[in-house]
Structure 1
């Protein structure tokens, strides 16, 4: 294992990998991104180096002698907030979800494609992929931060501790308002954990999985069929709000007020303005997800500018 201390000015990336060729490829990609790279050949050494150097980013192979990558991920996650990317030849859904459950933030299948890896990391960091060209370390990539408020809210929903129907899904200064006539058209259903489970959603670590679409509220990440999708903050908030709506149908007015943290009493916008805004925002979100209007997988448009999650057959 490499034990030399990296320069203090560079963010540290840790590679836990027993295959020499793969380790060299990852070293090249991460070095070009501005990282100071250290390498361990197995999970035990990787855990020790993670504790010693507190890396911003860690890549972990699944199949290693002794401690496997899932256990290594769990042990590192006990004391470190490093952004963990699992690298593996095992890429079926069960293995991917096991990686997320262990505490990983992303899952990259082998053989590794350098350009794809660079693009995925750039999307996580909310940076264009060009930032991965050799550059001064002052502009180096930084791991996506975790939002404590979102994390706490996610844990509350997963535990079923409070009905989301009476709270905004996005943490913020939102006050409950009495339903307007248009909102009374919303179909009955369950919001929050019960409604989400009824639709077949699964809670895996800090991730919510809905038939190939996964979101990580704590880090603002979205994955579609193992492909990272880069959403802007408004798009992510809208998607999260729809997830937490469970089996409820939501009007454009409802969504707009929740996204802005307003009530009917405090808002200055008219209903038709919110309808146009949310419809445009929803269209852009669905395009980013790769949703098809004629055969939606996750979100479908209803009459009178209302939306709901698809009921899987």
Structure 2
């Protein structure tokens, strides 16, 4: 987590805007607030926040358009706030690039918990720097606290127990690890520590949630991850802790995976990389190789 946490609140309701400013301020954020969408986009551009909350109904451009515009230049977490409860509104918001969608009225304590869960996940450009071992000691991967299976360096598939990445040989410098450690599958390359994805040589811009889902699936290889597991993972829970996952939460995973496939250019019919296992969940089309 960054030492300096910045948030932008885009909300035209004075009371809710004041509540969000106070809530985020108490959580350690430096908060900038706007009452219009256009002003909010500029505040995001000027302050490079880690978190953005966006009201859907704004007096100029709506929250969907705000989200689309900021997604052109920021990887910040975007939480959309709205009084609308229709599923289509949630889907449109997620399709625009939002990471979460919260309906009003909301409980401040629950809002803080959701935000803190998101902030525990690294954004693009936030490079964790755990030291690697000497070739025999596993070093923690960025997603170790999420319980996602690891892929061994030999490409034998998901490992059991805590997530780890096995160093391939001898001491490796942190710099070399940051730039070279990667998961590869048929032209798809994911750099866990750089938070970067390439598909057939093209760098793919992803939201933090999309990156987390792809990393989870690639580390799982051919193991199928249920929508309930993936839903718990993106909200910061252990995948098998038994916490409630609603039908709406599962539909959210479907939308995120649809966006992910669209960005990769992965045809849903041929499913070159991400496969749907009907009635179960998702898995990769092969076992990614860990390369360092």
TM, length-normalised to structure 1 = 0.46
Query: Which structure would you say has the larger Rg?
Result: 1
TM, length-normalised to structure 2 = 0.49
**Bigger proportion of residues as helix:** 1
